[in-house]
Amino acid sequence: MVSAASQHQLAQIHQRFPDVQVLQKPFSMKSLLQLIETKHVGDTI
């Protein structure tokens, strides 16, 4: 999930949905690519 929500709100979402990756705006392209790569690697294991 990509969101402009506060860090506290995102932590609550992550607790409720631990399998959902969270990225807070604004974010760097590097952070987005790392998140995608981490998820992709996790899917293949």
Domain map of the chain by residue range?
Answer: 2-44
DSSP β-bridge partners for residue 3? 24
Q: Considering Cα of 14, then 17, then 23, then 29, what sign does the dihedral take?
A: positive
pLDDT at 44: 52
Q: In this predicted model, what pLDDT tens digit does every residue of 10-21 receive, in sequence order?
A: 889 889 998 888
Indicate the pLDDT class of residue 30, thresholds 50, 70 and 90. very high
Indicate whether 45 pLDDT > 70: no
Distance from the Cα of residue 11 to its chain's centroid: 11
Residue 32's nearest CA partner among 21, 43, 41, 19 is: 21
* Cα–Cα distance for residue pair 36/45, rounded to 1 Å: 15
Is the predicted pLDDT of residue 1 greater than 90, yes or no? no
> pTM of the entire structure?
0.58
